[in-house]
């Protein structure tokens, strides 16, 4: 897994260390591997009652294969797909990106291995291609209301962007998140361990906004391979009038665009309306649902799929 993830696209969710953190939350890994004389491929999975699914949780923006490009990698993925028939009657892979060819490769591999495959969009990913712009040039293209908010509120809030892990600042983030409108963290210890590790590697961008000495907004980003990932953001609703979240977001956008010189900013999954104010492109995320027609337990969902397609 270490060797394969080292050759992956470089997203935080492709690394063996990420899968190890997931395993520490209680998920049981099922690592499916195929090799030939020169190459190897793997899928990081888990299983429950014959239903195989990705090794991931809600912190993962994407999930995809770890496999070399080209025919050799495709053959190994097909071999894995055949192996998985011995582990379950159903394999559901999501959220798989399409822009890098992952969704097409995986669907093709499972079809070639004899699975009945359905591919459907399951989520949305908002991104900002920087296209060589400075932050000032990018900001000129933002909606007028957003620019007005920053102009009116920025002086009332002090922002700071840390490139290291700070336990005290992280504790402030956790307190803000707990008091915000966001749902309770699923695995806060995992997220803290991830942020600490990213800080040690120099990839963390931990932003905080303060007013009158009190921390009222916080965000967790990471940067690698010219891509900035927006992982978490929260602010205190008691200070909504200060628009600290907007001011802090602008500070982080400016940092990753002008200092880190990223090519892309990734706002994760979800189609929340506010993301469109900051981002410019939308990419689908796919669910690849695979059923083995040779296994009786797959017949009811296969029949349901046929009925739904015939009534559409």
pLDDT in tens, 221-259: 999 999 999 999 989 988 889 999 999 999 999 999 999
Question: Is the torsion defined by CA of 204, 210, 213, 216 positive or negative?
Answer: negative
Least confident of 83-87, 157-161, 162-166, 176-180: 176-180
Per-residue pLDDT for 8 more than 80? no
Task: Look over the chain and give the mean of its residue pLDDT values, rounded to a whole number.
Answer: 94
Closest CA to 285 of 131, 73, 128, 127: 127
pLDDT in tens, 79-121: 999 999 999 999 999 999 999 999 999 999 999 999 999 999 9
Q: What percent of the chain lies above the pLDDT cut of 70?
A: 96
- This prediction has a pTM of 0.94
pLDDT at 285: 98
Evaluate if residue 6 carries a pLDDT over 70: no
């Amino acid at each position: 897994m270490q060797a394969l993830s080292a050759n992956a696209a470089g997203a935080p969710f492709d690394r063996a260390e990420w899968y190890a953190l997931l395993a520490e939350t209680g998920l049981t890994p099922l690592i499916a591997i195929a090799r030939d004389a020169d190459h190897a491929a793997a899928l990081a999975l888990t299983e429950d009652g014959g239903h195989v699914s990705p090794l991931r949780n809600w912190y993962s923006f994407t999930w995809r294969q770890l496999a070399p490009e080209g025919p050799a990698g495709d053959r190994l993925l097909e071999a894995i797909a055949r192996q998985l028939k011995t582990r379950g009657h159903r394999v559901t892979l999501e959220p798989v990106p399409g822009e890098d060819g992952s969704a097409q490769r995986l669907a093709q591999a499972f079809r070639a291995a004899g699975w009945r495959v359905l591919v459907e969009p399951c989520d949305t990913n908002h991104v900002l291609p920087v296209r060589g712009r400075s932050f000032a040039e990018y900001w000129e293209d933002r909606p007028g209301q957003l620019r007005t908010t920053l102009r009116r509120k920025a002086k009332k809030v002090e922002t700071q962007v840390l490139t290291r892990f700070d336990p005290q600042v992280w504790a402030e983030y956790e307190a803000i998140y707990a008091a915000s409108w966001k749902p309770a963290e699923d695995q806060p210890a995992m997220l803290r361990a991830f942020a600490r590790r990213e800080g040690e590697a120099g990839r963390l961008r931990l932003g905080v906004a303060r007013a009158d000495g009190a921390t009222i907004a916080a965000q967790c980003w990471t940067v690698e391979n010219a891509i900035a990932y927006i992982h978490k953001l929260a602010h205190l609703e008691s200070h909504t009038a200060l628009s600290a979240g907007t001011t802090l977001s602008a500070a982080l956008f400016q940092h990753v665009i002008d200092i880190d010189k990223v090519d892309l900013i990734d706002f994760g999954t979800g189609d929340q309306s506010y993301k469109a104010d900051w981002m410019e492109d939308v990419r689908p995320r796919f669910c690849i649902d695979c059923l083995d027609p040779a296994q009786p337990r797959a017949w009811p969902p296969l029949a349901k799929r046929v009925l739904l397609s015939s009534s559409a």
